[in-house]
Amino acid sequence: MAKPSSRSSGQKATVHDQKLDRANGGELHQVAEGDVPILTTAQGGPVSDDQNSLKVGARGPTVLEDFHLREKIFHFDHERIPERVVHARGYGAHGYFETYKSLAKYTRADIFQRAGEKTPAFVRFSTVAGSKGSADLARDVRGFAVKLYTQEGNWDIVGNNIPVFFIQDAIKFPDIIHSVKPEPDRAFPQAASAHDTFWDFISLTPESMHMIMWVMSDRAIPRSFRFMEGFGVHTFRMLNAKDESSFVKFHWKPKLGLQSVVWNEAVKINGADPDFHRRDLWEAIQSGNFPEWELRVQLFDQDFADSFDFDVLDPTKLIPEELLPPIPVGRLVLDRMPDNFFAETEQVAFMTQNVPPGIDFSNDPLLQGRNFSYLDTQIKRLGSTNFTHLPINAPKCPFHHFQQDGHMAMRNPVGRVNYQPNSFGEGPRESRQRGFRSFVEVEEGPKQRLRAESFADHYSQARQFFNSQTAPEQKHIAMALTFELSKVETPVIRERIVSHLLNIDEGLAETVAEKLGIKDLPRPADAAVPTRDDLEASPALSIIENGPDSFAGRKVGVLVSPGADAALLKKLLSAIEEEGATMEVIAPQVGGVEAADGNVIPAKHMIGGGPSVLFDAVVLLLSEEGAERLAGEAAARDFVADAFAHCKFIGFTPGAAPLLRKAGVDAEADEGLMVLGDPKAIAGFIESCRKLRLWSRETAVKL
C-alpha cells in the first residue's frame, strides 16, 4: 500500500530528463552536448525538459506560464484544416440522459438533483488515428464523447472505450499522435499502428504499456458502438452544496453487453463494408432498437485515494471495479439520428472543460493539458470563437454574457451596456451561490517540471489486465502484438518491446519473441518500480466475461438457395425477432430465389456482397441442388469457412452438406454446428447464439 507521505504535494519527485535511464527501459542516455542538436522552441529557445509540463509540486496543477507546453499543444491543434487532428472519423446520434436518483449528497450539479429527469444528449463515437475517410474497423481506441445539455450549461464527458491512456502528461500528446499517424515521409500507413514510428515511441515510453495491453486486446476492434463501454478516463471531482468534495470516475455500461470481433474478421469487414459501425448505429436507431448505456460512477474520498495502491491522478491507471464497485446513477438512450451529418456530427465541439457547477477537475496532468487545449482546437477547427452559436453546440438553457462580434457572430449583446461592472444596472451578474466554484485546495511545492514518483509503476496494472483476460483473449493479445511488430522494420524496436513484455508476462513475451524469430530473449527492461504479482484478476476487464444475456441487438445472416424451405425460414424469422435480433437474407442474386413452395424469397444481399463477417451467426437454408451449385462459388465457400473460423454458430439444413464439405467444414465438428428442422431445433440454435462465439473452436482453427 502506498505510504501517506507519498501523496503529499511536496513529495520527492522524479525529474524526467535524459538522465532517467531506469524509467525508460534503459534506452535514453544522457548525451554530450554537441553530439545531437538541442531541442528548441519554434523561437529557437533551448528546451530543458520535453517530458513534463510545468506544475506546482509533483502532483499539483499545471501552470499557465508553461510556454513550451502551450506552443506544442497550440501547434498540434492547428495541424489539420479543417479535419480534426484526432478522432476525425466519427458518427453521432441524439438522445437523452435519464437520472435514476438524486446525488445531492455528492454533487450540486443540477442534472443529478431530480430522479426521472431527462436531459437532452448528443453522443459522438470515433476512431482516433485514422482520417475521415478511413475504415470503421481499424485497430484503434474508440472515442466516446457525450454532450449533456443540462439546465446549468453543457457538460461534455469526453471519453474513450478504454479507461486508461498512453501517456501521463499532456505535453507528450503531440508526440504519441505524431508517432501513430502516417509516417510523414511516406504518408502511410493509414489508421494503423503497425509501423516503426509508433512502436519506437512506445518502446521508449514505458508508461504506455498498460494502454498497449488494452489496444492489443479485442477492445480495440469492437463489434458495434452499441456493444462497447465508455469511460471518462480521468479522475474528476464532485462538489456538493457545502463544497465538500468526492473523487469520481465515470463509466458507461452498454445494455446489450460487450462484444468485439477477431482481427481476421475486422480486416474482411473493412473490405466488405468500411462503414460497418456507422451502418449498424443508423439501422438500430431507424428500426427503433435504441442503443442504451447505464452511467455508473466510482465515488471515493481522499482517504481511499491515499490508501489505493496507485495514484488516482495517473491516467495510465484504473481502479478495479471489484475493489470499488461503480454505482448506477442514470441511463443514456440514443433515439434520433442527425438531420445533417456536417451540421451536427462534424461541427459538434466537445471540450473537457465544459462542466456544470458541482463537477470539478483533479490535478491529473493529462486532464489539465486537455482543459487547456480543447478551446484552442475548436476555435481553429470551426474558424471562430463563436462556434457556440452553432445549434449543435449552443446550450439549451438560458445563457447571458457580454461576448460580442468576431467572425460568424449570429447574436450580440442588446442595448447600451456590454461590460461589467456598470452603473446602469444592466446585463447579467455573477452569482457566488449558483455559479461554478472550484474545490478549495492548498497547493505547495517547487515550481518545476516534475513527474511524481507515485506515477512510476508502469507494468503492474498491465500485468493485472493481461491476467484478467480469458484464454482466447490472451491469445488475441499475443496475436495482435505479433502482427503489429511483424510490420516493424527495425529489429531493435521489436526487441525493445519484448523486453517490456517480460515485465508483464514472461509467457506472453516468449510467445511474441518466438513468432518474431527472436532467438535470444533480451533482458527485461529496467523498471523504475518492480512489477507486482499480487494484484488479483479483475473479471470486469474481460469482454467475454461481460457478454450479453441474450442475442438481442445481434444479426443473423441466412444464406438461401432455390428450393429452400420457406416455412422453415418463417419460423426462423419469428424466433429471431422474438429474441430481439434481426435477420438478413443472402442469395445467389439480389432478386432472391424461388422457394420449394413456388413463392419468392427476397434477398438483401447477393452472396458476393453479403459475407458472413457482417453477421453474428449464420444459417444455411439450402436445398441439396442449391448447395451443390453454391459449392462452386468461392464467395459461398468463404461465407461458410469464415463463419466457422471466426467461431460463429452455424445452423443448417441437411441439404447444405455439399457446401459444408466444399468449404472444408465437418458438419459434426462441434456443438456450434446445428441441424435445423423443427421449432425445437431453432430454439436451441437461438439459445446457443446467446454465447456469441464458440471459443473452444479456436484451438482447432488458425485465424
Q: Is the pLDDT of residue 34 over 70?
A: no
Q: What share of the chain is helix, strand, coil (3-state, %, to 5)?
A: 35, 15, 50
Supply the range of the domain harboring residue 465: 457-544
Residue-level pLDDT at 17: 37
The confidence score (pLDDT) of residue 317 equals 98
- 411 pLDDT band (50/70/90 cuts)? confident
Tell me if 170 sits within 8 A of 365, measured CB to CB.
yes
- Round the average pLDDT of the chain to a whole number and report it: 93
Whether residue 408 has pLDDT greater than 90: no
For position 568, which CATH number holds? 3.40.50.880
**Distance separating alpha carbons of residues 258 and 278, to the nearest angstrom:** 18
Whole-number Å distance between alpha carbons of 293 and 279? 19
Grid coordinates given for 431: 452569482
Average pLDDT, integer, range 496-506: 98
Model pTM score:
0.92
- The single-letter code of the amino acid at 381 is R
In a domain, 31, yes or no: no
Query: Given 544, 572, 604, which residue is the final one in a domain?
Result: 544
pLDDT of 30 higher than 50: no
Instruction: For residues 337 and 390, give the distance between their C-alpha atoms in angstroms, rounded to a whole number.
Output: 18
Q: Is residue 336 within 8 Å of 95, Cβ to Cβ?
A: yes
Express each pLDDT in 530-567 by its tens digit.
Answer: 999 999 999 999 999 999 999 999 999 999 999 999 99
HSE of 280, CA atoms in CB hemisphere, 13 A: 23
Both 501 and 648 in one domain: the answer is no
Q: Which residue has the cell 470515433?
A: 126
**Looking up cell 451529418, which residue turns up?**
341
Q: How far apart are the first and last CA of the chain?
A: 42
**Average pLDDT of the segment spanning 292-308:** 98
Q: 621 and 534, same structural domain?
A: no
User: How many CB atoms are closer than 10 A to CB 325?
Assistant: 11
Identify the H or E element spanning 674. Answer: strand 673-675
| pLDDT over 70 (residue 702) | no
Which one has a higher pLDDT value, 581 or 416?
581
| Mean pLDDT of the region 492-503 | 98
Whether 441 maps to a domain, the answer reads no
Which pLDDT score, from 0 to 100, does residue 430 have?
85
Residue 75's pLDDT is 82
Look at residue 170 in the predicted model and tell me its pLDDT: 97
Which of the listed residues 334, 363, 389 is the one where a domain comes to its end?
Answer: 389
Instruction: Looking at the structure, tell me whether residues 577 and 614 fall in a common domain.
Output: yes
535 and 589 share one domain = no
- The DSSP secondary-structure symbol of 260 reads B
Please check whether residues 289 and 251 belong to one and the same domain.
yes
Q: Tens digits of per-residue pLDDT, 618-636?
A: 999 999 999 999 999 999 9
Domain count, the chain: 3
313 and 365 in contact (C-beta within 8 Å)? yes
Query: What letter does residue 351 receive in the DSSP assignment?
Result: -
| pLDDT cut 70: percent of the chain above it | 95
- Measured on CA atoms in the order 661, 667, 673, 675, is the torsion positive or negative? positive
Listed in sequence order, the residues at least 6 apart from 636 whose beta carbon sits closer than 8 Å to its beta carbon are: 559, 607, 630, 659, 663
| Angstrom distance (rounded) from CA 24 to CA 697 | 40
Rounded average pLDDT over 459-473: 98
Catalytic residues, which ones? 87, 160
* Other Cβ atoms within 10 Å of 104 Cβ, number: 14
DSSP string, 301-317: -HHHHHHSSS-TT-TT-
- Confidence label for 24 from pLDDT (cuts 50, 70 and 90): very low
SS3 90: strand
Query: What's the mean pLDDT in 260-289?
Result: 98
What is the pLDDT at residue 701?
Answer: 72
Residues 221 and 326 in one domain: yes
* 475 and 573 together in one domain: no
- Looking at residue 33, its pLDDT comes to 56
In a 13 Å sphere around the CA of 258, the CA atoms on its Cβ side amount to 19
In degrees to the nearest 10, what's the CA dihedral of 27, 28, 30, 32?
90
Q: Is residue 423 part of a domain?
A: no
